């Protein structure tokens, strides 16, 4: 009850309100000798432990470095030269601008979202100095520990020289001067921060957002400075010739877009900070997150080529019919004091929606999928209409929401059922690589979230049949491995659907992913729901809210806040689960490393080079999920979960 910000988190607050974070108390820094004695050699047993674990770490670190970089069989060009395959699989190169636009959309949304969250927490200059120092120490250690390099022959191919272990162990230090310089530079920066800023100023606090943006910027700018190498294919004399320039900057077509991405993110963040006090901005950002994945997948990446004659003759009239007819019904249904007649009508619409599905299935009537979906949506809107009753403008807003929803849904359904303009892309199988991994994780989270929320509500409902249905679903799904779910949806789903209702294999397994992660998400949200005291329900009832209003206005906002940390944990799991797509033959990130590259013989022979790719994949997965887990720990601290 003392500190508002502990009990009321996740609120947009102007930065000046936040109060400056307290300076951490000056830690009495022990002299190095005493620090060592206290933390490493406090007793005989501890000394032995320190030496043993130190030896283990040394051995593991050196072994890993040697395994990764200097083992006779390691050839990292297999990763570098296949970067495009890793990231976007077979996406047409001449259409890459679409990929960049998609990325820009996601980064802008990220910028908006960051602007909406509180920019507190972060690090002090003191910590930054420690970072630089630690990185420098790691670089130095690696430079000293790694065995000597392998020779290359005139064609740049590594020479395998097993007998030369002795030579490799005799390191020519001069060859590594660059790394010594790097380490020295890092130490110098650390020292400059540490000693250049006085005692108090060392605690100057840099908020997380700026640190993250600076790190992003550093990575992007390094593309213009550090020679990561340039790999690719060039067409010469009618044949594709590999380009391998290990000592040059990355291609301009990579550098420039990344710079643009960096700028776009910054601009989005700035715009977000300007707009965040507006009430609509938060909702609009959330809605954009929901709409972005289908928009990117089916509109930008797939570029539907509409058959305009059909659009004008069928699609638009159908949209108009639903927009006007449905709008009129909803306008009437949201009349105040309509009473239970409204609910009866809404229920009737629900029956129509159900029958529209059944009718297609039983062959009574062949109706367009769009009509079925629209009927379901109309029934859902009708069922909640009485909550939006009010004066004329309130009712018109409600009808407006209906028309917007139906427009978006109709557009997407039409777009999905339209062939692509892109050459060679007629189905959704063009998706692959890391692009697909990201996309799948994203869809898995965004779509399964509302589903999980509904399941959680049903499972905690006081209606026994809802409870039984939800519990059965959740427990069955949680009891079986994801791989069997994937098998089911890749093999079985087509068999369960009627003719004319086909989904591609990728869409099928995505449905599997969504259902799977919805079950887990439901459990997380249920945890949040159960943490809400009974009194909140009673108070909502006592002031006369309807059950829908009670759920939407009182229960869910509180429950979700409590379940954010476990939901982020679930996000990490889903991100990792996507790797299982490799098993059922989808060309995701992992499959490319494990199955594609090791079998590549042209234009460069990489046969058998599996471990480099796998290490690279591990690293990328690690970065993603480590970042998310750090974020979740920070959230948990900020939200003060468990303090309520």
Partner 1 sequence: MSISDATTAVNEELASRDDMIECVGVDKWYGDFQALKGVTATIKEREVVVVLGPSGSGKSTWIRCINRLEQHQGGQIIVDGVELTNDVRNIEKIRSEVGMVFQQFNLFPHLTVIDNVTLAPKWVRKMPKDEAEDKAMELLTQMGIPEQAQKFPGQLSGGQQQRVAIARALAMEPRVMLFDEPTSALDPEMIKEVLDVMKDLANSGMTMIVVTHEMGFAREVADRIIFMESGEIVEVGTPEHFFTNPTEDRTKLFLSQIL
Partner 2 sequence: MTDATLAGSQPGRPPFYRDATVVKWFAQLVTLLVVLGVMFFLAREAGDNLSAKNIATDFDFLNINPGFGISEGIDTDPDTGGRALWVGMVNTLRMAAAGIVVATILGIIIGIARLSNNWMVNRAAGIYIEALRNIPVLVQILLYAAILGSAGRLLQDTGPIEGWVIRSAKGLALPRVFIADGFYQWAIWLLIGAAIGWFLRRQQVAKRDATGQITYPNIALLGSVLVFGIIGWFAHPVFGFFTSIFEALGDAYGKIPQGALQILLAVASLAIAAWWIKRFLDQRRTPAGLAKLTDDDYFRMIFAGLGGLLGALLFLVLWPGLSSWILNSGQDLLYLLSDKFGNGRTGQPIDAMKPTLVGEGTLWNYGPQGLTLSVGFAAVFLGVTLYTAAFIAEIVRGGINAVPKGQGEAAAAIGLSRMQSLRQVVLPQAFRVSLPPIGNQYLNLTKNTSLGIAVGYADVVNTGSTVLNQTGRPLSVIAIWMLFYLACSLTISVVVNWFNVRMKIVER
404 binds, options partner 1, partner 2, none, Cβ within 5 to 8 A by partner type: none
Residue 502 within binding range of partner 1, rule CB under 8 A: no
Residue 8 within binding range of partner 1, rule CB under 8 A: yes
Residue 277 within binding range of partner 1, rule CB under 8 A: no
Sign of CA dihedral 42, 48, 49, 51: positive
Q: How many CB atoms neighbour CB 54 within 10 A?
A: 11
**558 or 594: CB nearest partner 1:** 558
Residue 16 within binding range of partner 1, rule CB under 8 A: no
Q: Using the rule CB under 8 A, give the single segment among 131-139, 255-263, 482-490, 535-543 that binds partner 2.
A: 482-490
Residue 364 within binding range of partner 2, rule CB under 8 A: no
Identified binder of partner 2 from the candidate list 287, 344, 401, 543, rule CB under 8 A: 344
Compute φ and ψ for 171, nearest 5 degrees.
Answer: -80, 140
Identified binder of partner 1 from the candidate list 51, 291, 365, 553, rule CB under 8 A: 553
**What is the C-alpha to C-alpha distance for residues 498 and 479, in angstroms, rounded to an integer?**
28
SS3 (DSSP) at 239: strand
Q: Provide the minimum distance between the beta carbon of 538 and partner 1 in the complex, in angstroms, as a whole number.
A: 5
| Euclidean distance between the first and the last CA atom of the chain, given in angstroms as a whole number | 10
Residue 498 within binding range of partner 2, rule CB under 8 A: yes
Identified binder of partner 1 from the candidate list 391, 464, 479, 496, rule CB under 8 A: 391
336 binds, options partner 1, partner 2, none, Cβ within 5 to 8 A by partner type: partner 1
Residue 478 within binding range of partner 2, rule CB under 8 A: yes
Q: Which two tokens stand for residue 256?
A: 């420039």
Q: Using the rule CB under 8 A, give the single segment among 13-21, 163-171, 272-280, 620-628 that binds partner 2.
A: 620-628
**Tokens 């920070």 appear where?**
634
Interacting positions 331-350 with partner 1 (CB under 8 A): 336, 339-340
**What is the C-alpha to C-alpha distance for residues 268 and 292, in angstroms, rounded to an integer?**
15
483 binds, options partner 2, partner 1, none, Cβ within 5 to 8 A by partner type: partner 2
The residues with which 240 forms a beta bridge, in sequence order, are 235
Q: Using the rule CB under 8 A, give the single segment among 34-42, 139-147, 212-220, 404-412 that binds partner 2.
A: 34-42
**525 or 592: CB nearest partner 1:** 525
Contacts of residue 643, defined as CB under 8 A and 6 or more positions apart, other chains included, come to 6, 7
255 binds, options partner 1, partner 2, none, Cβ within 5 to 8 A by partner type: none
Q: Provide the minimum distance between the beta carbon of 450 and partner 2 in the complex, in angstroms, as a whole number.
A: 17
**What is the C-alpha to C-alpha distance for residues 543 and 547, in angstroms, rounded to an integer?**
12
Residue 321 within binding range of partner 2, rule CB under 8 A: no
Query: Burial level of 60, CB count in 10 A (0-12/13-18/19+)?
Result: exposed
**152 or 397: CB nearest partner 1:** 397
**What is the C-alpha to C-alpha distance for residues 586 and 590, in angstroms, rounded to an integer?**
9
Q: Using the rule CB under 8 A, give the single segment among 3-11, 47-55, 89-97, 253-261 that binds partner 1.
A: 3-11
Identified binder of partner 2 from the candidate list 72, 125, 171, 614, rule CB under 8 A: 614
The residues with which 123 forms a beta bridge, in sequence order, are 206
**What is the C-alpha to C-alpha distance for residues 597 and 610, in angstroms, rounded to an integer?**
7
Residue 615 within binding range of partner 2, rule CB under 8 A: yes
455 close to 524: Cβ distance less than 8 angstroms: no
Identified binder of partner 2 from the candidate list 140, 377, 380, 469, rule CB under 8 A: 469
Residues 618-636 as b/e (b if ≥16 CB within 10 A, e otherwise) read: eebbeebbeeeeeebeebb
Residue 14 within binding range of partner 1, rule CB under 8 A: no
**Tokens 């068999």 appear where?**
495
Query: Burial level of 88, CB count in 10 A (0-12/13-18/19+)?
Result: buried
* Residues at the site binding partner 1, with contacts judged by CB under 8 A: 1, 4, 7-8, 336, 339-340, 387, 389-391, 394, 533, 535-536, 538-546, 549, 553-554, 557-558, 561, 644
């Amino acid at each position: 009850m003392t500190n508002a910000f502990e009990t009321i988190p996740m609120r947009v607050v102007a930065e000046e309100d936040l109060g400056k974070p307290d300076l951490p108390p000056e830690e009495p820094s022990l002299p190095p000798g005493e620090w060592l004695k206290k933390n490493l050699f406090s007793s005989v047993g501890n000394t032995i432990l320190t030496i043993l674990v130190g030896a283990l770490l040394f051995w593991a670190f050196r072994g890993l470095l040697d395994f990764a970089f200097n083992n006779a069989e390691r050839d990292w060009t297999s990763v570098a030269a296949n970067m495009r395959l890793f990231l976007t699989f077979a996406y047409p190169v001449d259409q890459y601008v679409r990929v960049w636009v998609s990325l820009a959309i996601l980064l802008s949304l990220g910028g908006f979202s960051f602007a909406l969250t509180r920019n507190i927490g972060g690090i002090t200059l003191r910590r930054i100095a420690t970072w630089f120092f630690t990185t420098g120490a790691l670089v130095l250690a690696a430079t000293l520990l790694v065995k000597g390099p392998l020779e290359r022959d005139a064609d740049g191919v590594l020479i395998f020289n097993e007998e030369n272990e002795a030579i490799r162990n005799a390191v020519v230090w001069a060859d590594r001067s660059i790394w010594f310089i790097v380490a020295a530079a890092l130490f110098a920066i650390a020292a400059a921060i540490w000693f250049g800023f006085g005692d108090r100023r060392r605690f100057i606090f840099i908020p997380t957002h700026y640190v993250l943006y600076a790190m992003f910027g550093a990575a992007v700018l390094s593309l213009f400075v550090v020679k990561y190498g340039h790999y690719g294919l060039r067409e010469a004399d009618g044949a594709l010739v590999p380009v391998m320039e290990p000592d040059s900057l990355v291609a301009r077509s990579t550098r420039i877009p990344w710079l643009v991405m960096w700028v776009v993110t910054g601009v989005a963040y700035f715009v977000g900070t300007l707009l965040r006090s507006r009430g609509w901005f938060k909702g609009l950002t959330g809605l954009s997150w929901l709409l972005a994945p289908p928009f990117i997948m089916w509109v930008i990446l797939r570029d539907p080529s509409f058959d305009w004659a059909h659009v004008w003759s069928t699609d638009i009239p159908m949209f108009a019919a639903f927009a006007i007819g449905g709008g009129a019904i909803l306008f009437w249904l949201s009349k105040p004091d309509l009473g239970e007649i409204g609910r009866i009508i809404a229920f009737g619409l629900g029956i129509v929606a159900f029958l529209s599905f059944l009718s297609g299935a039983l062959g009574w009537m062949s109706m367009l999928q769009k009509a079925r979906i629209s009927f379901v949506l109309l029934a859902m809107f009708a069922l909640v209409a009485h909550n939006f009753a009010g004066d004329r403008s309130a009712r018109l807003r409600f009808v407006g929401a209906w028309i917007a929803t139906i427009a978006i849904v109709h557009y997407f359904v039409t777009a999905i059922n339209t062939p692509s303009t892109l050459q060679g892309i007629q189905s959704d199988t063009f998706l692959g690589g890391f692009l697909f991994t990201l996309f799948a994780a994203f869809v898995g989270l965004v779509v399964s979230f509302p589903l999980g929320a509904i399941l959680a509500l049903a499972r905690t409902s006081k209606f026994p049949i809802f409870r039984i249905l939800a519990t059965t679903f959740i427990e069955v799904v949680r009891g079986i491995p994801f791989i069997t779910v994937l098998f089911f949806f890749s093999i079985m789903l087509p068999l369960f659907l009627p003719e004319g209702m086909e989904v591609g294999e990728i869409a099928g397994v995505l449905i599997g992913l969504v259902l799977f992660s919805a079950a887990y998400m439901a459990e997380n949200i249920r945890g949040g729901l159960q943490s809400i005291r009974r009194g909140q329900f009673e108070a909502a009832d006592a002031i006369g809210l309807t059950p829908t209003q009670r759920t939407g206005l009182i229960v869910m906002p509180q429950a979700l806040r409590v379940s954010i940390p476990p939901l982020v944990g679930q996000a990490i799991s889903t991100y990792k689960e996507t790797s299982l797509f490799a098993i059922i033959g989808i060309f995701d990130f992992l499959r490319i490393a494990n199955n594609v590259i090791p079998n590549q013989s042209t234009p460069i022979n990489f046969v058998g080079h599996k471990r480099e790719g796998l290490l690279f994949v591990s690293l990328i997965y690690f970065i993603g999920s480590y970042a998310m887990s750090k974020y979740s720990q920070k959230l948990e601290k900020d939200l003060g979960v468990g303090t309520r």
